[in-house]
Each structure stands twice: as structure tokens, then as C-alpha cells.
């Protein structure tokens, strides 16, 4: 039996906003005024404000046939937090704007918001505003995140220096393999005979699924760096893929780089899935995207400190710009790093 | 001859962003870092930060058959500035996210951005970030605006007190009548015979057209209030329509109100257009929306000061909550104010 569904039109825009935002207590002292006026009011002393925004469109960034709405909400929030951590900052507030087509009910949108709320709780972030509207087709999610940081702690992309070590947290390629798995099972389901019960085969693949559906921002890595007295010289999060992000840092910092194929951290489940699908494992890790791990550079002198941090891998080093960006393969060859990062326009 | 068009796919997302943002110099000292990193960095001292966001969707909020892209960009920015002024603040930065379907070229998007740039120049606001992506259908525009204000100067919706005067800047209903005009001429154009040259009839209606296509935020009114030593007790901008906004202030402030039909400021062109279309003029002014005028309340003792400000009308007063919100007609009857404000879900 399906639970009661409410047409959005029956409660209107303001009714929907009331319903969506009533369970968002303000947690931060700096959140003076959240939802309910023309603008949110935030109080800051000597801190710097960080602002980042992401637009997620149905059919482009997500497919509701296999992404639960709660997970989608969680991810929409977390990927913005990740951008703030990638500046060595701390996310504090978000605004969420939604465009919602008529096939969605209030309950659907509440499900989406329950994921946003969970992310806000876990990361200590306040929802302070937004805009909700109808859309002609599909779901549109726009999230803006505001964070803070001490001026002297902010890390940009442009500070990498020759001989710096290149580090990455966690492992790469898993989110992309999770997406491949979801797409495969979805195709199998579509091909199943009518009336036949279809059970997707996710056994032993829980990790790559979770990496795709419920990514986390690496708040813990930022804390570990601080505890160990490390301030990266450059940092970004890995959203488009390692190759693409390495090129961003090289371009912004006017440097080159060498990364070692055998140092790139890859999980066992990612490797198994790539083999099942007959895909090149290293290319998957280099270009997969949506990992939301932190890619950063540290001075060579921080080598011992970095080794103390669990779950961070040193994958290479920064070079003079003339040397370009390249990956050193297991047999010692150099392959240019090229941005095969995700391009929604192609 | 059509000018050269570039496929977005040929320059990719980053190429497009580079192209779109290269003409946006940072103007404010507080804009330490704009486009080009994971997040924008803003520096504030003892000021409060204001954040507001709007999502505009093709087919819902705008119709590209009669809204030029440059005007659309201008309006998308200005309506956000208006929200910040409505808090008695000053807009300082915006982020702009776009979802763009394949029917748009780079030149189209540049045209849109030229409007955003113009608005930023006129209002002294910096573009500091955004996200650009493909969309399956149509154009999606999400703008977030960050502003600042002295803590003691911020005006919320909830401060209106019994006997306060209700004031509104400019005139109302013109933007809505401009939209009606555009829709009428568009229908006539669609009915014109093939090959027949169609000239829309906009003579003597320039003002209502401009109010719809190129609204302004009332920065000047905020300045005048300050110069005259007036701090409103409550304030909002009129985006959904006067009726809807009056109810917001009454609800937030726990008060009632009386506004006088014959005090509601209406331009001559608005009146002419309403007559041509056989529409109720006062209902148009009360419910039209998109005026972006400022609605505010001031203590009765500020009566003389308010009268000195050109282009501000006193339209009524605040009452006890038990009296509800009503409009007093020319013949002395009281009609309840109801929110017929624009509801995109209905």
C-alpha cells in the first residue's frame, strides 16, 4: 500500500518551504537568521567567508531510476562541503534551491531534504535559505555553501612548488565503478521478463555502491592535516577525476608533475569491477571522477609528517613547468596526463 | 547574415567558464578570490553577511520568445540585489550557475552574461563563482547573492508595530502589464501571415515594457532612507505582489494592516494597458508581482521625514493583529487582502 501523497499544488510554494525547513535548527552562532526573510544573515568576526555553489540537473548529473532521493540530497550537500574543505575551510551554511516538476510529490521532496538534513547534521552545517519553484521537466537542485576559514589557513590551487609531494586521500575510481554497476543492473532489470522478480546483484560490491550513492567529504583529512601541523601548498577535491584536477593544480601553480601508476590508491572492489567490465583500471582511477577525495601538495620536508596520516597516499611530486604533467607507468614509461574529466557538454 | 556561432562542446565547460568570466574584474576589497578555485573567498570585518538565492527556469520564470537574453541576465542579477537591499544591506558578490541545453551557443550565453555584467557594473557587485553545466531541456539560471550590512541597520520582516505607516516605493503593477503586453504581441506575431512583416505595437508603452524586461533594484530608496535618518521597522521587496508581501509582513510581525485603494501608486501606462485588456487595475497592482519595489513600515513619528522622499508613497498603516489585513476601497468598504501572489506550482 502506498503511503499518502500530497500534491505540491495543494500546499503551494510557501507551504512547501515551511514544511521542508521546519526541521532545520540553526547550529552555528554565526547563523543569525536563516530561512524566512529575503536573505540569510551571518555573523563573522575575523574569519574569511568561503562560498561555493553546485547545480545538479536530472538526466545530466543524476538518474532517479537508480539514485534514491535521500541519497541524492545527501550527495548534493556533501559535494559542496567538499569544495569548502578543499580550501582548508569549514562549511557553515548552505542554501538549497529546487525546481520540481509535477511528477514529484511533497513526500518525494521531503525525502530529498531528509538527505540534505542528514548531511547538515553530520557536518554541522546550517540550511539558511533557498528558492523553490516548479519546473517544466525533471528535478533541478542548486546548492550554495558558505564556509569560513582563518585567512592564513586558506589553501588555493596555485601554491604548488617544485619538489612538493603530491598526496591524495582515500582511494580513487570507486564512485565511477559504482555508477557502472548501477547502470549495468538497471539494464538487466529493464530486460527482465514481466512479472519476473528482479534482484540486482550487489553482493561484494557494497563499497563502490556507497562511494557512488553516498560520498563523504574529507573533513577528517583536514583535521588530521591540522593536528599534524601540515598546511598544504595547494589543494582541491577530486570531483572531475584525478587527471583533470592534477592539470588544474599544474596550470594554476605554473608547475609540472610526475605521478606513479603503482602509487595510485585503488580499492579491491574497484579493481574487481573494472576487470568484470573489461575496463582499464588505472584509467578508471585517473578519470573516473566523483571521488570527493582531497588532492594536495606539501613541501618535501613534510614527508615524515604525511606518512603518519592514515589513508593518505603520496603519489608523486611537482616538477618544473617545462616537464609537463605525466604519469610514470610500472615499466618506467611516461604518459602525458590528459583531462578526460567529465564534460557534460560533449 | 548570422554571426559566427560556437558550439559549447567545442570549448568545453572550462573553456566556457574562462570565456564568460574573464571580463569580470573584482571591485570590492572584500572579494579576495573570485572564480577559479573551489570556493570564493570574501573578507569581512565587523559587517554582517547577507546571502540570497534565486532559481530561474525556462518555461516557468521566463519565455525566450520575447525576453532577450541580455535582459534576462540583467534581471536575474538585479532581483537578487533587490533581496539584499530589502534587508537594508548592500549586495557585494554573486555566484551564477547555469544549466544550458544544446540549442544554446557560446554567443547566446555570452549575451546572457553581458546582462549580468551590466547589472554588476551598475550596482557595484562582483561575480565570484558559479557552476556551468549542460541541461536536458532549456535554460536554468541559479543566482546567489552575498551582501553586507551593519548589524544595527538590518531590517527584517518582523518588526512592524501598530500605528506604523506602510510605505511603498515607485509604482505597482507595471511589470505585470508589461508581461501581458508581450504575451499579446507574441500571439499576434504568431498569427501573422507567412512572409508578412510583423511590427509589434509598443508605442506609448515603453515604461511597462521596461519594468518587465529590465527591472531595477531600489538602491536609491535605501540611500534616501539613510540620508533622511529613517530606519524602517520592517521591509521586503515586492516580487510576488503587494498583497502577498503585506501578508508576509503581517504574519512575521504579528500585526494587521489597512491599505487604501486610492493610495496605491499606479503609473498612467499601467492604467491604460489594464483598460485595453479589460483587467481590474487595482487587482493588477495588488497581485501583479515582479515590481521589485520596496515595501516597508516606519514609525508614525517619521511621517514628515517620509514625505520628503520623492517617489515613496504612504499607502496605509499597521493595526492590531485581530483586525487582519484589509484594503479600504474608494467608497470606504474593507476587502480582505488575500495572497493571489504568483504560485508556480498551481
DSSP codes joined into one string, A104-157 = --HHHHHHHHHHHHHHHHHHT-EEEEEEEEE-SSS-EEEEEEEEEE-GGG---S
pLDDT over threshold 60, residue B2: no
Q: Would you call A99 and B144 a contact, using CB atoms and an 8 Å cutoff?
A: no
Q: In what order do the strands lie in the sheet with B234-237?
A: B234-237, B294-298, B165-169, B312-319, B256-260, B325-328, B334-336
Inter-residue contact B31 to B92 (CB < 8 Å): yes
Contact between B130 and B206 (Cβ < 8 Å): no
More confident residue, A195 or A278: A278
Could you tell me what percent of chain B has a pLDDT over 70? 90
Q: Which of B44, B55, B149 sits opposite A99 (nearest CB)?
A: B55
pLDDT bracket for residue B344 (50, 70, 90): very low
Q: Are A69 and A77 in contact (CB under 8 A)?
A: no
Which residue, among A51, A54, A249, would best test binding to B if mutated, counting the most B CBs under 10 Å from its CB? A51
Q: What is the pLDDT of residues B158-208, one digit of tens each?
A: 999 999 999 999 999 999 999 999 998 888 888 776 667 777 778 899 999
Is residue B339 a contact partner of residue B242, using CB atoms and an 8 Å limit? no
- Give the closest residue to A340 by CA, choosing from A258, A282, A300, A297: A282
Looking at residue A194, what is its pLDDT?
Answer: 66
Q: Which of B111, B140, B150, B145 lies closest to B128, judged by CA?
A: B145
pLDDT score for B110: 86
Do A109 and A100 meet the contact criterion of CB atoms below 8 Å apart? yes
Q: What percent of chain A has pLDDT over 70?
A: 90
Taking an 8 Å cut-off on Cβ atoms, the answer to whether A37 and B157 are in contact is yes
State mean pLDDT over B229-234.
97
List, for residues A216-266, the tens digit of each pLDDT value: 999 999 999 999 999 999 999 999 899 999 999 999 999 999 999 999 999
Residue listed under C-alpha cell 544591506: B89
Phi, psi torsion values for A197, nearest 5 degrees: -75, 130
Tell me if B42 and A51 make a contact (CB, 8 A cut-off): yes
Q: Maximum distance among all alpha carbons in chain A?
A: 66
Query: Is B142 close to A53, i.e. CB distance below 8 A?
Result: yes
- The count of CB pairs under 8 A between chains A and B is 220
Give CA torsion, residues B133, B137, B139, B145, to 10 deg.
-60
Residues of B in contact with A37 (CB under 8 A): 87, 156-157, 236, 252
What pLDDT score does B67 carry? 92
DSSP character for A326? Answer: E
B1 pLDDT band (50/70/90 cuts)? very low
What are the strands, taking DSSP E only, across chain B?
Answer: 31-33, 40-43, 48-57, 90-100, 126-134, 140-149, 165-169, 234-237, 256-260, 294-298, 312-319, 325-328, 334-336
Tell me which residue of A264, A258, A259 sits closest to A280, measured CA to CA: A264
The answer to whether A165 touches A300, Cβ cutoff 8 Å, is yes
Percent of chain A with pLDDT over 90: 59
Of B60, B87, B146, the CB nearest to A51: B146
pLDDT at residue A43 above 90? no
Gap from A245 CA to chain B (nearest CA, Å): 11
Backbone Cα Rg of chain B: 21
Where does the pLDDT of residue A342 fall: very low under 50, low under 70, confident under 90, or very high at 90 and above?
A: very low
Nearest-angstrom CA–CA distance, B147 and B331: 44
Beta bridge partners of B294: B237
Amino acid at each position: 500500500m502506498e503511503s499518502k501523497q500530497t500534491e505540491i499544488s495543494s500546499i503551494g510554494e510557501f507551504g512547501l518551504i515551511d514544511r521542508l525547513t521546519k526541521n532545520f535548527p540553526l547550529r552555528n552562532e554565526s547563523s543569525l537568521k536563516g530561512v524566512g526573510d529575503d536573505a540569510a544573515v551571518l555573523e563573522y568576526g575575523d574569519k574569511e567567508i568561503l562560498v561555493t555553489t553546485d547545480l545538479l540537473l536530472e538526466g545530466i548529473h543524476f538518474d532517479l531510476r537508480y539514485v534514491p532521493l535521500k541519497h541524492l540530497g545527501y550527495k548534493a550537500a556533501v559535494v559542496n562541503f567538499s569544495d569548502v574543505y578543499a580550501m582548508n575551510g569549514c562549511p557553515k551554511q548552505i542554501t538549497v534551491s529546487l525546481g520540481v516538476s509535477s511528477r514529484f510529490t511533497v513526500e518525494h521532496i521531503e525525502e530529498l531534504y531528509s538527505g540534505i538534513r542528514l548531511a547538515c547534521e553530520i557536518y554541522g552545517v546550517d540550511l539558511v535559505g533557498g528558492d523553490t519553484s516548479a519546473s517544466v521537466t525533471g528535478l533541478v537542485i542548486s546548492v550554495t555553501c558558505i564556509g569560513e576559514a582563518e585567512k592564513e589557513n586558506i589553501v588555493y590551487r596555485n601554491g604548488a612548488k617544485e619538489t612538493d609531494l603530491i598526496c591524495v586521500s582515500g582511494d580513487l575510481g570507486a564512485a565511477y565503478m559504482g555508477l557502472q554497476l548501477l547502470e549495468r543492473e538497471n539494464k538487466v532489470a529493464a530486460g527482465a521478463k514481466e512479472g519476473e522478480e528482479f534482484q540486482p546483484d550487489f553482493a561484494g560490491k557494497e563499497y563502490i555502491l556507497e562511494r557512488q550513492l553516498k560520498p563523504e567529504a574529507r573533513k577528517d583529512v583536514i583535521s588530521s592535516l591540522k593536528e599534524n601541523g601540515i598546511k598544504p601548498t595547494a589543494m582541491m577535491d577530486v570531483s572531475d577525476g584525478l587527471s583533470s584536477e592534477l592539470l588544474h593544480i599544474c596550470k594554476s601553480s605554473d608547475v609540472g608533475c610526475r605521478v606513479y601508476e603503482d602509487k595510485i590508491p585503488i580499492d579491491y572492489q574497484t579493481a574487481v569491477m573494472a576487470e568484470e567490465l573489461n575496463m582499464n583500471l588505472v584509467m578508471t582511477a585517473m578519470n573516473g571522477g566523483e571521488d570527493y577525495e582531497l588532492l594536495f601538495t606539501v613541501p618535501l620536508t613534510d614527508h615524515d609528517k604525511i606518512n603518519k596520516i592514515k589513508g593518505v597516499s603520496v603519489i608523486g611530486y611537482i616538477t618544473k613547468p617545462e616537464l609537463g604533467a605525466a604519469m610514470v607507468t610500472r615499466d618506467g614509461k611516461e604518459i602525458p596526463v590528459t583531462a578526460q574529466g567529465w564534460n557534460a557538454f560533449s
